[in-house]
């Protein structure tokens, strides 16, 4: 049986996942080709609705366009209200993994199982100031737990170190769970994230503000792997 996108990501850990929130959407194919050339394993897609979070980004058409452009794993992070109403549409658009926020669903375990029934990986995300038990109570059902190190909604925010203890606790209690971290991950913070147990490291400005994506990703990967091998 061929590996699933989720197992491939697990095997590539620690893996850098570029967040396309800060890419040049006027040259989307060029951006994707540059990231492919840099050797990334997946693309992280932040979907915001202007309601659950105070920002508005993109929806299914961009996901579908990316699916047409690349075979890279598409890791779709739904920062939206009523996410289960749209999960199937995002699956149909090409999402390989769909993560929803514990703050946006009334029954997190049921939400995870509904997403898994669509044949894609299912994740739960948690904001820094949400009580941690909101995700720990459902973590055993998840394929991925996404620990936010900034409040969901905008790129370029400073890293909140509360994420490190949350990652470490999830790694201790769920050693086989894929752990992802998103927000403020850069050359200065990435090593602390892998030390705490993160497998997938979502990075935005620390890639897209550099002239060479390959160089930026190589530097980030080296920092993540050096720290991971030393821990």
List pLDDT tens digits, range 32-59: 999 999 999 999 999 999 999 988 899 9
CA distances from 95 to 60, 67, 73, 132, 213 (A): 9, 8, 8, 27, 23
Indicate the burial class of 17 (C-beta count within 10 angstroms; 0-12, 13-18, 19 or more).
buried
**Residue-wise pLDDT tens digits, 164-207:** 999 999 999 999 999 999 999 999 999 999 999 999 999 999 99
Label residue 72 by pLDDT band (50, 70, 90).
very high
Question: Annotated catalytic, 75?
Answer: no
182 flagged as catalytic: yes
Give the domain extent around 190: 5-230
Q: Do 175 and 197 form a contact (C-beta atoms < 8 A)?
A: no
Active-site residue identified among 49, 160, 182, 199? 182
Q: How confident is residue 158, by pLDDT bands cut at 50, 70 and 90?
A: confident
CATH number at residue 39: 3.20.20.70
- Per the structure, the count of domains in the chain is 1
Which backbone phi and psi does 178 adopt, to 5 degrees? -75, 125
State pTM to two decimals. Answer: 0.95
Which of the residues 46, 75, 160, 219 is marked catalytic? Answer: 46
φ, ψ for residue 122, nearest 5 deg: -125, 135
pLDDT of residue 1: 53
């Amino acid at each position: 049986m061929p590996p699933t996108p989720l197992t491939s990501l697990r095997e590539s850990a620690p893996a850098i996942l570029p967040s396309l929130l800060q890419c040049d959407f006027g040259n989307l194919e060029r951006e994707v080709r540059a990231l492919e050339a840099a050797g990334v394993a997946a693309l992280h897609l932040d979907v915001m609705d202007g309601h659950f979070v105070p920002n508005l980004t993109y929806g299914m058409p961009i996901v579908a366009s990316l699916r047409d452009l690349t075979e890279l794993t598409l890791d779709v992070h739904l920062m939206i209200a009523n996410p289960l109403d749209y999960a199937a549409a995002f699956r149909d658009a090409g999402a390989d993994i769909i993560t929803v926020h514990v703050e946006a669903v009334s029954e997190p375990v049921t939400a995870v199982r509904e997403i898994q029934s669509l044949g894609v990986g299912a994740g739960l995300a948690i904001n820094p100031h949400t009580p941690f038990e909101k995700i720990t109570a459902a973590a055993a059902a998840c394929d991925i737990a996404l620990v936010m190190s900034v409040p969901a909604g905008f790129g370029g925010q400073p890293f909140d170190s509360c994420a490190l203890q949350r990652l470490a606790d999830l790694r201790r209690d769920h050693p086989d769970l894929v752990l992802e971290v998103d927000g403020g991950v850069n050359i200065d913070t990435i090593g602390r994230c892998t030390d705490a147990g993160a497998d997938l490291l979502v990075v935005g400005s620390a890639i897209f503000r550099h002239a060479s994506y390959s160089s930026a990703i190589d530097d980030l990967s080296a920092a993540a792997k050096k720290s991971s091998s030393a821990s």
